[in-house]
Structure 1
Amino acid sequence: MSTKISTGVKLSAAAILLVSLAACGGGGGKKITGRELLDAPMEVSTVYKVSCVSCHGTDLQGRIGPNTNLQKIGERLSKEEIAKQIENGSEGMQPFKDTLTAEEIDGLATWLAGKK
């Protein structure tokens, strides 16, 4: 009987751990499914979640200062300027030209340019 209790306790502990880890997801305890990402093509959404959300947030609101807010980035920068910034980085932003493909950068830039 102690084996069954032990197994049950282990399963409960594993379930709690999985729920806790799922809540983290790099989004500060929030699920990484912001309403801004709902309009992104799946490929773009995936790239954003993996490469951008930690600094720019789940709703493009920016997580580390006002310069990281992308909610209206299309009003400030053209698609080409956004792509260049993703590729080369800027003050405080790492370059992604060696991390993302040209297609991924173009997809992000196209989507973000529409944020007005």
Structure 2
Amino acid sequence: MRKYIKTFMFASFATVFLAACGSGGQSNNEASTQDGQTADTLYARKCANCHGGDLQGGFGPALDRIGEQLTKEEIVSVIENGQGGMPPKILQGEDADKVAQWLSEMK
């Protein structure tokens, strides 16, 4: 019985975690309406729920010094493909590139 309860609790937590970090935005079939937004605005809309508004972390890791650990290209890959508990396709294309450039300067 305890094993069942632990499994249920883990599944519940994982569901809530993934829902909180989900893009909550457009499907891949919808046209992008984010053109022209700055990197920090995109971050606030798509990333801050998990990584914190001040880049200090939350559900996801802190990103305040991520530029010391990853290159811009590596950050783009994580944004577009996901990693660990982060789902893929939070941002794509030019938007992912903008945010990755901005984050790569965090040192």
| TM-score normalized by the length of structure 1 | 0.58
Q: 2:67 aligns with which of 74, 91, 94?
A: 74
Aligned to 1:90: 83
Moved over 4 A (4+): none
1:19 is aligned to: none
**Which has more radius of gyration?**
1
Aligned residue in 2 for 1:115: 106
Q: In the superposition, relative to structure 1, how do residues 64 and 100 fare at CA in structure 2: closer, same or farther (>3 Å)?
A: closer
The residue type paired with residue 84 of structure 2 is E
RMSD: 2.0
State the AA in 2 paired with 1:114. Answer: E
Q: Percent sequence identity over matched residues?
A: 47
Match of 2:42 among 44, 47, 72: 47
Q: Which amino acid aligns with 1:55?
A: C
Q: Deviations over 1:45-101 (max 9, x none)?
A: 221111100000011000125xx10010000000000000000000100112xx534
Aligned length: 73
More helix by share: 1
Taking CA–CA contacts closer than 8 Å with sequence separation of 6 or more, which of the two structures ends up with the larger relative contact order? 2
Distance 2:59 2:68 in 1: 20
Segments of structure 2 that go 5 or more residues without pairing to the other structure are 1-19, 21-36
Match of 2:51 in 1: 56
